[in-house]
């Protein structure tokens, strides 16, 4: 897909305690287990584990932002990105 006329991505970052972030973004980078993954509109459906690091995103308005996470999971489908993070009850 041509990024020039691509739509936006819908990004949601959710932890067990709260919805940390919900935004329309034009691009996102997430800390994958083997290094950062860049996600643009039109990305292939993907499920990936996440390492500790920062989610870096560019809002539709052009502003950028970051969010620290401690690992988790990302799923991408139809330009919807859901990040689950902060789960720590391993039993």
Judged by beta carbon, residue 49 or residue 63, the one nearer another protein is 49
Per-residue x/- track, 5-24, another protein (CB under 8 A): -------x-xxxxxx-----
Judged by beta carbon, residue 4 or residue 91, the one nearer another protein is 91
Distance (Å, whole) CA 66 – CA 21: 10
How, if at all, do strands 64-77 and 19-32 pair?
unpaired
Instruction: Return the sign of the alpha-carbon dihedral for residues 75, 59, 44, 6.
Output: positive
Interaction between residue 4 and another protein (CB under 8 A): no
Q: Determine the 3-state secondary structure of 3 from DSSP.
A: helix
Interface residue with another protein, options 1, 49, 52, 60 (CB under 8 A): 49
Distance (Å, whole) CA 86 – CA 37: 19
User: Binding residues for another protein, per CB under 8 A?
Assistant: 12, 14-19, 32-34, 37, 44-49, 73, 75, 77, 82, 84, 87, 89-91
């Amino acid at each position: 897909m041509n990024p020039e006329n691509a739509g936006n991505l819908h990004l949601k970052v959710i932890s067990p305690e709260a919805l940390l972030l919900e935004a329309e973004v034009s691009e996102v980078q997430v800390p994958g287990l083997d290094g950062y993954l860049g996600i643009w509109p039109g990305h292939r459906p993907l499920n990936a584990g996440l390492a500790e690091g920062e989610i870096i995103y560019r809002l539709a308005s052009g502003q950028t932002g970051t969010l620290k996470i401690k690992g988790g999971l990302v799923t991408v489908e139809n330009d919807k990105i859901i990040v689950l993070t902060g789960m720590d009850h391993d039993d």
